[in-house]
Structure 1
Amino acid sequence: MDYLILYYAVQVLAGFIAFVTIWGMIPLDNWWVRGVEFPRLQLIALGTLAWVGLLAFWVKWEVLQWALFVVLGLALAFQLRMVLPYTRIWKKEVRQAKPKPKSHQLKLMVSNVLTPNDNTQALVDLVKEREPDILITLESDMKWQKALEAVEDDYPYSVKVPLDNLYGMHLYSKLELIDPEVKYLMIDDIPSIHTQIRLKTGQVVWLYCLHPMPPSPTEADKSTTRDAELLMVGRHIKEQGQTAILAGDLNDVAWSKTTRRFQRISGLLDPRIGRHFINTFHVKYPFLRWALDHIFHSECFTLVNIERMPSIGSDHFPVMTILQYAPEHSAEQKENAPTAAKEDLKETEHKIQQGKKEGCKVSEEHREEAAECGCKE
């Protein structure tokens, strides 16, 4: 009896992995479809277990088992194709930096602090220890703004957007910020920061800090506004021919269809490709962990280092990235940059228009909720 239970359990698991893989290909923005793009590593682990289990019961195979084995193999191949670029077996998209004076380097830290997290001193201590040139905090409210006053003497430039809706955002910089703006691209209470920064070399580059709303049963029913915000910024960078860095908690994984399209649309590079995963969420559940905090940049930067930092009590780990301004490698690295096809341009325009409509709807819902609870808009 136990043998039969295990036999059928393996088949059910194999069928589940195959089903979820196919389910994720459905062209819908609903959270219950797009959500399966996140746990590809977990699906590979479970799928491999099922694959080995099927082999263990080889003597009992019939037509159904053969079909299941083939479909599971194809599902695993697809999942592996999505994640293998973020391992050392893949070609690096961003070359390793060669020794240069530190004046050519840019240290950028991104930290989703988690608004209810009261361990503010942990981030303050980490910032003082690692001394980033630029600090981006997400989900930061007035409590966090007050706590970060402890480092303000080292950061003469800042943009502060304290909010208590889980979408507050702060930017602290040792480097000059030129004409910084806070924009609400899709939803009128979810900000993004757009600014130019003057590097130590004197070069001026653009910096975009984003934290769009995720698709989930508790927040957005669809990924439409998230996708549209990312694609809108990516298209703008490309059309304006900007040298740019985009960073933040994108509430999406690097291997999703939207993030990959963003790279093709913007032409920006991902320093994780050909190196390793930087899985930042969820801190407390190692098996359910994936990369939500990202950095992308133009081809004039090479990579000194990218690493996940110690926990500060949030559900996200902070990430530190050290880039090096090396325009002499631009032509070489531009060959590694993904390029957009006509279908990407068409789908981007369609997605942005959809996002604007959905954003108006969500913004109105937020205003109604604020009015009902007596909160200020």
Structure 2
Amino acid sequence: MTYLTLALQGIAGLLVAATALPLIETNLGFVRSLDFPRLQIAVALAACLSGLLLVSRDTTSLVLALAMAAALVMQVRYILPFTPLAATQAKAATACEPGDRLSLVVLNVLQTNRNYGAALDLVTRRSPDLVLLLETDSGWQEAMAPLRALYPNRVEQPQDNTYGLLFYSRLPLRGPEIRFLLQDDVPSLRTQVVLPDGETVRLHGLHPRPPHPGHSSAPRDAELVIVAREVAEAPGPTIVAGDLNDVAWSRTTQLFQSISGLLDPRRGRGLFATFHAQWPVMRWPLDHVFFSEHFLLGHMERLPGVGSDHFPITVSLCAAPQAPVRQEKPEATAEDHRDAQEAIEAVR
């Protein structure tokens, strides 16, 4: 047996383990973080499977090849709904009256990034109705001051722990508030946005702590469940946006959608991977915009980088009377509700 065969067998075992571990029901950050690189693991599985079969056909290699093939199928099943090969969940608007259109830019600026001008220029050029900036400290608050002339309504919560947020709105706000749902240093935004016709849209801006080795996913999971329940209990036009520190295909995000009933515009369109901006081979979708069935999708785009480790993302929506008829919102099962309760109890 050659060293190459041994190396490929070792890599095969690691890739199969990386695929299987997230099946375990646990809040361990190391395990939950394996939800993120499913595309990268799938590519590595395909390459390792081909390489191993080329250099060895012994019993161990064949067993590992079968295990890798099964793992590859599993990874592809997670990713496939977020490609053009799948059906869209949020339907596209064919036309939209100006008064019904609502646009939003979401950007995790990276607190240590001091390329303020790039972010300011991007927002100015795109001129969305709403702007949500995350990881903003007092330096970012000061640098974004020119936006106040363009956006008369704002909520500013600068912090130096990478969880500050700045929110700017061209439209009037009703009852804006900063909340600390689970941790006293991790804020979230809740407000109503008043559209030109007087209708209101509830908006939640989130940035929960990420899971990573040594850091449980429980606070993130529970925060998403809490917001999902709030959305379900107050039906009406709703948007949830932000860096959720979770990928679109994870069980947590799927649970969030089931409980909230919100739509994901990436389904059937693409990954729109926003992180990591500087590492092309290690990217996944961390920044999200979910919305209720009251909206059709006008446009969604990942924007050019501005020096952050996240790309900005922009979405334009159309509030249309026919929207709920054209699209089906996710529905929660009894098991989903049990899982949601368990997620909250895990934090308690």
Instruction: Give the shorter-chain TM-score range.
Output: over 0.9
What is the rounded CA distance, in whole Å, between the counterparts of 2:197 and 2:318 in structure 1? 11
Give the aligned partner of residue 366 of structure 1. Answer: none
The offset of 1:303, in angstroms, is 1.0
What is the rounded CA distance, in whole Å, between the counterparts of 2:24 and 2:96 in structure 1? 47
| 1:264 partnered with 2:258 | yes
What is the rounded CA distance, in whole Å, between the counterparts of 1:41 and 1:350 in structure 2? 29
- Cα deviations by residue, 1:298-323 (Å, 9 ceiling, x for unpaired): 01111111111111111111111111
Moved over 4 A (4+): none
The offset of 1:162, in angstroms, is 0.9
The offset of 1:286, in angstroms, is 0.9
Give the aligned partner of residue 23 of structure 2. Answer: 25
Give the aligned partner of residue 373 of structure 1. Answer: none
Q: In 1, are the aligned partners of 2:237 and 2:295 still within 8 Å (CA)?
A: no
What is the rounded CA distance, in whole Å, between the counterparts of 1:298 and 1:152 in structure 2? 29
Give the aligned partner of residue 131 of structure 2. Answer: 135
Q: Map 1:83-94; keep pairs closer than 5 Å.
A: 83-94=79-90
Point out the more displaced range, 65-74 or 111-120.
Answer: 65-74
- Cα deviations by residue, 1:333-366 (Å, 9 ceiling, x for unpaired): 12xx2211111101111211222x3xxxxxxxxx
Give the aligned partner of residue 368 of structure 1. Answer: none
The one-letter code of the counterpart of 1:122 is A
Give the aligned partner of residue 338 of structure 2. Answer: 346
Secondary structure at 1:352's aligned position in 2?
Answer: helix
What is the rounded CA distance, in whole Å, between the counterparts of 1:294 and 1:270 in structure 2? 8
Give aligned-pair identity as a percent: 42
Give the aligned partner of residue 327 of structure 1. Answer: 321
Q: In 1, are the aligned partners of 2:110 and 2:162 still within 8 Å (CA)?
A: yes
Give the aligned partner of residue 99 of structure 2. Answer: 103
What is the rounded CA distance, in whole Å, between the counterparts of 2:163 and 2:257 in structure 1? 24
- Cα deviations by residue, 1:117-159 (Å, 9 ceiling, x for unpaired): 1111111111111101000000111111111111211101100
What is the rounded CA distance, in whole Å, between the counterparts of 2:310 and 2:57 in structure 1? 44
Give the aligned partner of residue 52 of structure 1. Answer: 50
Give the aligned partner of residue 365 of structure 1. Answer: none
- Cα deviations by residue, 1:273-293 (Å, 9 ceiling, x for unpaired): 000111111111111111110
| 1:255 partnered with 2:249 | yes
What is the rounded CA distance, in whole Å, between the counterparts of 2:196 and 2:161 in structure 1? 35
- Select the structure that is richer in helix: 1
What is the rounded CA distance, in whole Å, between the counterparts of 2:117 and 2:173 in structure 1? 26
| 1:64 partnered with 2:56 | no
The one-letter code of the counterpart of 2:287 is D
Q: In 1, are the aligned partners of 2:53 and 2:62 still within 8 Å (CA)?
A: no
| 1:233 partnered with 2:233 | no
TM-score after normalising by structure 2: 0.97
- Cα deviations by residue, 1:86-109 (Å, 9 ceiling, x for unpaired): 100000001111112232211100
Secondary structure at 1:24's aligned position in 2?
Answer: helix
The offset of 1:201, in angstroms, is 3.6
What is the rounded CA distance, in whole Å, between the counterparts of 2:17 and 2:189 in structure 1? 40
Q: In 1, are the aligned partners of 2:209 and 2:219 still within 8 Å (CA)?
A: yes
The match for 2:157 among 133, 157, 161 is 161
Q: CA RMSD in A?
A: 1.3
Point out the more displaced range, 199-208 or 105-114.
Answer: 199-208
Counting matched residue pairs gives 348
| 1:275 partnered with 2:273 | no
The offset of 1:81, in angstroms, is 0.5
Secondary structure at 2:23's aligned position in 1?
Answer: coil
The one-letter code of the counterpart of 1:191 is P
Q: Map 1:105-254; keep pairs closer than 5 Å.
A: 105-217=101-213, 221-254=215-248
What is the rounded CA distance, in whole Å, between the counterparts of 1:287 and 1:201 in structure 2? 45
TM-score after normalising by structure 1: 0.89
What is the rounded CA distance, in whole Å, between the counterparts of 1:161 and 1:255 in structure 2? 30
Q: In 1, are the aligned partners of 2:304 and 2:311 still within 8 Å (CA)?
A: yes
Secondary structure at 2:316's aligned position in 1?
Answer: strand
What is the rounded CA distance, in whole Å, between the counterparts of 1:28 and 1:176 in structure 2? 42
The offset of 1:268, in angstroms, is 0.3
Point out the more displaced range, 43-52 or 237-246.
Answer: 237-246
Q: In 1, are the aligned partners of 2:91 and 2:326 still within 8 Å (CA)?
A: no
The one-letter code of the counterpart of 1:296 is F
Secondary structure at 2:145's aligned position in 1?
Answer: helix
What is the rounded CA distance, in whole Å, between the counterparts of 1:240 and 1:104 in structure 2? 21
The offset of 1:74, in angstroms, is 1.0
Q: Gaps spanning 5+ residues in structure 2: where?
A: none
The offset of 1:5, in angstroms, is 2.5
